[in-house]
Structure 1
């Protein structure tokens, strides 16, 4: 189970975001869906009707006070803990690495090396260019635009976690040009890069050439992001 410090830090973060948001209902909905909890499940946890949760999220009810927010957050975390606590651990890894969870969705080290091909199969990725290494020991899932616009070069390197023997998964890409060009100024490069949300036909025409020059494997996947994060979380 996640440690208490991680849980408390995440609870404080979620509660703060909801309380300070210009649209608390939308922020609550974002966190509820991030935790893959339905309105009905959360309502059952809090022993209220699902219409209460719906009304808060839609703005039909007055913005929740701190006491209600605390109950909502506690309910989300309690549900996740009963499921094994993977979402809490996921956010804990990102927060402990010094990133915001809207920039880095997940950052994880594997207990042992995994073949790149097996990870690609896990997330439904198609390899476009082969790299110099065929095994990885971790992954980082990144919002492409936010990472490029908000992270310094030093912070970008921290995306590698403990090792460059990992796959960087860039989400929110249209052709892949921006993240691949950004990687050119970072040394060393990761073992693999996955561009999420596009297929081979959408890929920037020079993408495979850059990957071969820098020696990393390049792949694409259109697996929905929540399903992909769940698939990555199941890697043991």
Structure 2
């Protein structure tokens, strides 16, 4: 279907998920929206009507066979490549670090450090507990529930990439209790943490105290996750 490397791995993952899904249309829609590709753009790429894509995703049309799935996946990846290949590279970084893409959304090292305050400003984040950290050298975006339930302590350390001088952005957070406790038992801890999806008044009452004890900056943001990922993906 495609060449070797992360692109092929990603193609096989998408195709496998669509083919084995109880709701192939919903799974196709999930991947299409994750790639930020409209039904119209995908239809133009495949030289078919956008109503065909809509029918597959809604279940009005019979589940796509292997040949159709192959074309759909190839179309998604081809559009991403023409746009610069951000999604393919993002998956490649996560894959090379040994994680599944439903646990870690993105993992990146920067060519030069950037101000932590810059991220807080871009995400309209509220810093709950400060630290001496001013610059960070990378980020990891993690689904908190999947990480806490599926990763071993050794795998948790790999979230740090090449350095703990990074920000860990945890999504799927309700109060931040699980994240705070998980980080409490790990040594070392990251220099900065951003909890995504909650407001300051929703935060677990002990979260700030634990952050101060372990000397990491803690902030919360309710910015759309897509915007967070898009901005982090633009950093070099």
Instruction: State how far apart, in whole Å, the 2-side matches of 1:123 and 1:88 are.
Output: 24
Task: Quote the residue 2:207 is aligned against.
Answer: 207
Counterpart contact for 1:138–1:167, Cα < 8 Å: yes
Task: Quote the residue 2:90 is aligned against.
Answer: 90
Task: Quote the residue 1:154 is aligned against.
Answer: 154
Counterpart contact for 1:122–1:232, Cα < 8 Å: no
Map residues 195-234 of structure 1 onto 2, 5 A cutoff. Answer: 195-234=195-234
Task: Quote the residue 2:115 is aligned against.
Answer: 115
Is 1:37 paired with 2:54? no
| Number of equivalences | 234
Task: Quote the residue 2:66 is aligned against.
Answer: 66
Unmatched 5+ stretches in structure 2: none
Unmatched 5+ stretches in structure 1: none
Aligned-residue CA RMSD (Å): 1.1
- Structure 1 residue 128, shift from structure 2 partner: 1.1
Map residues 45-64 of structure 1 onto 2, 5 A cutoff. Answer: 45-64=45-64
Task: Quote the residue 1:131 is aligned against.
Answer: 131
1:94-113 deviations in Å (ceiling 9; x for gaps): 11111111111111111111
Instruction: State how far apart, in whole Å, the 1-side matches of 2:225 and 2:87 are.
Output: 14
Counterpart contact for 1:123–1:232, Cα < 8 Å: no
Instruction: State how far apart, in whole Å, the 2-side matches of 1:134 and 1:83 are.
Output: 33
- Structure 1 residue 235, shift from structure 2 partner: 1.6
Q: Report runs of 4+ in structure 1 exceeding 2 Å deviation.
A: none
Instruction: State how far apart, in whole Å, the 2-side matches of 1:12 and 1:172 are.
Output: 26
Map residues 163-182 of structure 1 onto 2, 5 A cutoff. Answer: 163-182=163-182
- Structure 1 residue 4, shift from structure 2 partner: 5.0
